[in-house]
Amino acid sequence: MQQISPSNLSAWLADAGRARPVLLDVREPWEYQTARIEGSTHVPMREVPARVAELDPDKEVVVICHHGGRSLQVALFLEKQGFAHVHNLVGGVDAWARTVDPAVPVY
């Protein structure tokens, strides 16, 4: 599992020559409705074990939460499930909003 900063994720998403990662947002539904990174897939943390088969273990996955703690736990879980290319967004959607996209609400 790797850590990725908001600025590095932004550069990755802007790079047309690089395959887009799966942006897996594991926050609660109300949080996802409040603020999110466009193009993210919402699977609340508590649902990840039951829905892991919906994810492709061969794809790059960036796990996202509010500040990076829950996403770190999910990233480690995915690694144990055989996902080889998992990244945790350091600082979560909060850091994304503060450093990359000020249009995303801070809560």
Catalytic, out of 9, 22, 37, 65: 65
Tell me the two tokens of residue 80: 């144990």
Tell me the two tokens of residue 62: 């960036």
Tell me the two tokens of residue 100: 């990359």
Residue 24 class from Cβ within 10 Å (0-12 exposed, 13-18 middle, 19+ buried)?
Answer: buried
Distance CA 71, CA 67 (A): 8
Residue 104 is among the residues annotated as catalytic for this protein: no
DSSP 55: S
Active site residues: 65
